[in-house]
A and B are shown apart, each in its own frame.
Chain A
């Protein structure tokens, strides 16, 4: 069965860095695009970034562009999110999600359990 397990969250001071990981299993990781989506406490879902199945293309939300970097290691079935210059507004639960393409459309069909990032001094 498909499993996505995030790790790497924690408390970090403003301006510092943190790297999140998402370990994937139960499917051919190298065949799927992968996303990061976050949710601030008590707020809605906010899309963060996507990386294509082969890592060639990456896209970011304006709110994180230039500060966050999405990457993947298909040999390790792992997705990453390098977060630099963190701000208080980056405090959120970060989810990784698998993108599946079928019948001419895409969908985020599996999500991890999330990892909490708290940016605070």
Chain B
């Protein structure tokens, strides 16, 4: 079965840039999505179709997907961005999630 691998944690200082990677075999040939989940809340879609932001998602969230790696970048990270982030891709007709990355804003 298809697998997506994320680092368990990433730390970033306020105002700096956080990058979260998501690795999978030929992931660049698939579309990647990213979700943000804060404690006690439901996941929120922050990126879809590799690079697109849904309405209401701040411009500081951007992403790319090429080769075997998708990357979510948070520029000018704010305290409110502290959360778990999950990448997601489609494998045939099923959905695959990465294991999640906890972003800590120090």
The residues of A with any CB-CB pair to B shorter than 8 Å are: 35, 37, 44-47, 50, 57, 59, 61-62, 95, 103-109, 111-114
Determine the residue in chain B with the shortest Cβ distance to A103. B49
Please give, as numbers and ranges, the residues of chain B lying within 8 Å of A105 by CB-CB distance.
Answer: 31, 48-49
Inter-chain contact B97/A46, CB cutoff 8 Å = yes
Please give, as numbers and ranges, the residues of chain B lying within 8 Å of A112 by CB-CB distance.
Answer: 42
24 examples of A-B residue contacts, CB within 8 angstroms:
A37-B43, A37-B95, A44-B100, A45-B37, A45-B86, A45-B88, A46-B97, A47-B94, A47-B95, A47-B97, A57-B93, A59-B93, A62-B1, A103-B49, A105-B49, A107-B45, A107-B49, A108-B33, A108-B35, A108-B43, A109-B48, A111-B42, A111-B43, A114-B42
Least Cβ distance of A38 to chain B in Å? 11
CA distance A106 to B45 in the complex (A): 12
Least Cβ distance of B87 to chain A in Å? 10
Least Cβ distance of A35 to chain B in Å? 7
The 8 Å CB contact of A47, one of B42, B54, B96, is B96
What total of chain B residues lie within 8 Å of the partner, measured CB to CB?
26
How many pairs of A and B residues are in contact by the CB < 8 Å rule?
Answer: 60
Least Cβ distance of A11 to chain B in Å? 20
Least Cβ distance of B26 to chain A in Å? 16
Least Cβ distance of A68 to chain B in Å? 14
Given contacts A44-B86, A47-B97, A107-B48, 16 further A-B contacts (CB under 8 A): A37-B97, A45-B35, A45-B37, A45-B97, A46-B97, A47-B94, A47-B95, A59-B92, A95-B42, A95-B43, A104-B49, A108-B88, A109-B48, A111-B42, A112-B42, A114-B42
Inter-chain contact B94/A50, CB cutoff 8 Å = yes
Determine the residue in chain B with the shortest Cβ distance to A35. B95
* Chain B 21-43 interface 0/1 with A at a Cβ cutoff of 8 Å (1 = within): 00000000001010101000011
CA distance A106 to B89 in the complex (A): 10
CA distance A57 to B45 in the complex (A): 24
* Chain B 44-77 interface 0/1 with A at a Cβ cutoff of 8 Å (1 = within): 1100110010100000000000000000000000
Please give, as numbers and ranges, the residues of chain A lying within 8 Å of B44 by CB-CB distance.
Answer: 111
